Amino acid sequence: MASERPRDSRGRWFRAGGEEGSHRRLALDKTLLAHERAALGSWHWEVWGRDEQLPPPGAWRIWLICAGRGFGKTRAGAEWVRNVARHDGNARIALVGASLSEVRSVMVEGESGVLAASPNALAPDFEPSLKRLTWPNGAQAFLYSAGEPESLRGPQHTHAWCDEIAKWDNAGGRAMDCWDNLQLGMRLGDQPRILATSTPRAVPLMQKLLTEAERGDGSVALTRGRTADNAGVLPTAYYEAMLGQYGGSSLGRQELDGEMLREVEGALWTRALLETCRLAEAEDRPARIVVGVDPPASARGDECGIIVCGVTPEGLGQVLADHSVGGATPERWASAVAEAVRIWQADKVVAEANQGGDMVQSVLRAADWAMPVKLVHASRGKAARAEPIAALYEAGRVQHVGQFAALEDQLCGLMAGGAYEGPGRSPDRADALVWALSQLMLGRKSVPNVRSL
């Protein structure tokens, strides 16, 4: 099993509580000069960094920090880079992020980035046009985008810091190509090393590294952590708000507790599949937009699934927005549907009429008399209706424009055999998605096109 035990920190004795800790700090303070005292109080990482933010012992090749948001992953990465550069003038360090703009704004110039971790005389010279950092002793770091895997084909490095690897673009295997090209270039120095920091998501690269860590041969050292580990540093209002809003939910387990949500065996969708079809934003407005609605059976806690989907001129389905509401009266969820139609200028509303029949159409018309409504009746179970849509995902014909945590949790709980093993009593959001994409993509007659010769 990979090592996850606390690190031996040179600053643990200094941070110790109680009377003994106070005496130690007072005794040290008396021996320091003014500038030394200022440095210790403001940025000396070996003293103030938590044990789990410091490099683990052993001859590891890859150090993976898999932790929740606010844990201090970026600061740990920046301080590791600073320490490598400080002690090795021959260091050639790759800084790899989801995009060049994120590498610069987060890893280099961010509040916890390399420049913030390198005060005064220890600061490197940053040349944005050359995508390069240079320290006074000759150590250098270079900026790369994971969205451009070929940029790492050729350069050689002694060290690398890869940030938010679960965010890297997985379309077409781009994230794995970037990782492989980086690995093949780690051939400088006596002991090339990579630090990968990320909040976990079930993407192929993260799963690969966790599998290697669990193999226990020592090549991948694993550090796990939660947002709560850094609660004393985070703003109290932020921490309490995040805990109150997401604590105990699937999203909270992933984003706050740093837990990798495992796949449900036999599910129609997997998280890895969903990651391969994710887009940061749509390039153009879809040719048609439909709002799928799965009305609640009652207003006692049931959700009304309201999912906006579109189809591109090329025939690709797109999931655009989730406007679902919970515990709402018919008037309120109908208003939410009308609002989604207005925002997205939808061509049609497709609503299941099994629960309420004509009442569904009546409340929707009351919210907006001009709303184009089509009622559909379910003759098969939710999972059976979902299977053709899941096949479209497998064929790469559906894209998620952004992240939809609650919807995706439900999709990953729909089983091929008809059962539902996701959150809540019913996959209302997933069912609304199925109605919308079915309207847009299933049973459509092909339209002949005239092509120029």
DSSP string, 370-419: T--EEEE---S-HHHHHHHHHHHHHTT-EEEES--HHHHHHHTTBBTTS-
The per-residue pLDDT for 162 is 98
Inter-residue contact 255 to 246 (CB < 8 Å): yes
Element (DSSP H or E) covering residue 239: helix 236-246
Coil/strand/helix, residue 294: strand
| CA–CA distance, 84 with 88 (Å, rounded to integer) | 6
Per-residue pLDDT of the chain (453 residues; tens, 9 = 90+): 333 333 444 455 555 555 665 666 566 666 656 655 555 555 566 666 688 888 999 999 999 999 988 899 999 999 999 999 999 999 999 999 999 999 999 999 999 999 988 876 678 999 999 999 999 999 999 999 999 999 999 999 999 999 999 889 887 789 999 999 999 999 999 999 999 999 988 788 988 999 999 888 889 999 999 888 877 777 888 888 888 777 766 667 777 888 777 667 788 998 888 888 988 888 888 999 999 999 987 656 578 999 999 999 999 999 999 999 988 899 999 999 999 999 999 999 999 887 656 688 888 888 888 888 999 887 777 778 899 999 999 999 999 999 898 899 899 989 887 778 777 788 999 999 999 999 999 965 444 444 443
Angle at alpha carbon of residue 77, lines to 75 and 79, rounded to 5°:
65
- Shortest CA distance to 111 belongs to which of 148, 153, 139, 75? 75
Report residue 103 as tokens. 């590498």
In this structure, the dihedral spanned by the alpha carbons of residues 241, 246, 196 and 42, taken in order and rounded to 10 degrees, is 20
In angstroms, rounded to a whole number, what is the distance separating the alpha carbons of residues 16 and 22? Answer: 8
Residue 6 CB coordination number (10 Å): 12
The third-level CATH classification (topology) of the domain covering 57-255 is Rossmann fold (3.40.50)
Q: Please, are residues 292 and 350 in contact by the beta-carbon 8 Å criterion? A: yes
Amino acid at 60: W
The pLDDT of residue 44 is 61
- The whole-angstrom separation of Cα 122 and Cα 340 is 53
Nearest to 368 by CA among 336, 344, 320, 329: 336
Query: Do 356 and 296 touch, CB atoms closer than 8 A?
Result: no
Element of type H or E holding 339: helix 330-344
Burial of residue 352, with CB atoms counted within 10 A of its CB: 0-12 exposed, 13-18 middle, 19 or more buried:
buried
- pLDDT score at 5: 34
Report the alpha-carbon angle 411-412-415, nearest 5.
90
d(C-alpha 412, C-alpha 429), whole Å: 12
Question: Please, are residues 304 and 364 in contact by the beta-carbon 8 Å criterion?
Answer: no
The domain segmentation of the chain, as residue ranges, is 57-255, 271-441
- Taken in order 216, 217, 218, 220, the sign of the CA dihedral is negative
- pTM tops 0.85, yes or no: no
Q: Which pLDDT belongs to residue 66?
A: 93
Task: Identify the pLDDT of residue 450.
Answer: 42
**Choices 3.50.30.30, 3.30.420.240, 3.40.50.2300, 3.40.50.300: CATH for 271-441:** 3.30.420.240
Distance CA 245, CA 247 (A): 6
Neighbours of 190 (CB within 10 A): 6
